[in-house]
Amino acid sequence: MGKVIYVLPDGGERAVEAREGESLMQVAVQAGIDAIEGECGGEMSCATCHVWIGDECATKLKRASQDELDLLEADDLFTDESRLGCQIKYSSELDGIIARIPG
C-alpha cells in the first residue's frame, strides 16, 4: 500500500491509497475522482484517464508505448508530461507519485 496524489483540475489535491498492480486510473475511479472517467476500462481507446506526471516522478515509469502516445497526442491538452493513467501500474517505488489531471 502507498499513496497516489492527484491534483485536480481546480487545483485541489486528493491523496488516495493504492495497491500494488492497480492502475492510476483504477485508483482514481475507485476513490470517486470524477475528473478521471476511465471510460474504456483501460483498453487504451478513450484518453479519459489522461494525467500529467512531472519529471521527478516520470523517471520511475516505463516509457509510454507508441499506441499510448498516439492516443495522447490527439488530445488538445497533450504535453510532454502526458500519460494515460490506465497504463501506469502502481508499485511501491511510486509511493507519493503526483498525477495532475488536465483541465
List of residues contacting ligand FES (CB under 6 A):
25, 38-40, 42, 44-49, 84, 86
Q: State which residue, 86 or 94, has the beta carbon closest to ligand FES.
A: 86
CA pair distance 8, 13, nearest whole angstrom: 6
Q: State which residue, 11 or 66, has the beta carbon closest to ligand FES.
A: 66
What's the closest the beta carbon of residue 59 comes to ligand FES, in angstroms?
A: 22
β-strand pairing of 82-84 with 50-53: antiparallel
What's the closest the beta carbon of residue 69 comes to ligand FES, in angstroms?
A: 12
DSSP 25-77: HHHHHHTT-TT---TTSSSSS--TTEEEE-HHHHTTSPPPPHHHHHHHHTSTT
Q: State which residue, 70 or 93, has the beta carbon closest to ligand FES.
A: 70
What's the closest the beta carbon of residue 4 comes to ligand FES, in angstroms?
A: 15
* Cell numbers found for residue 56: 521527478
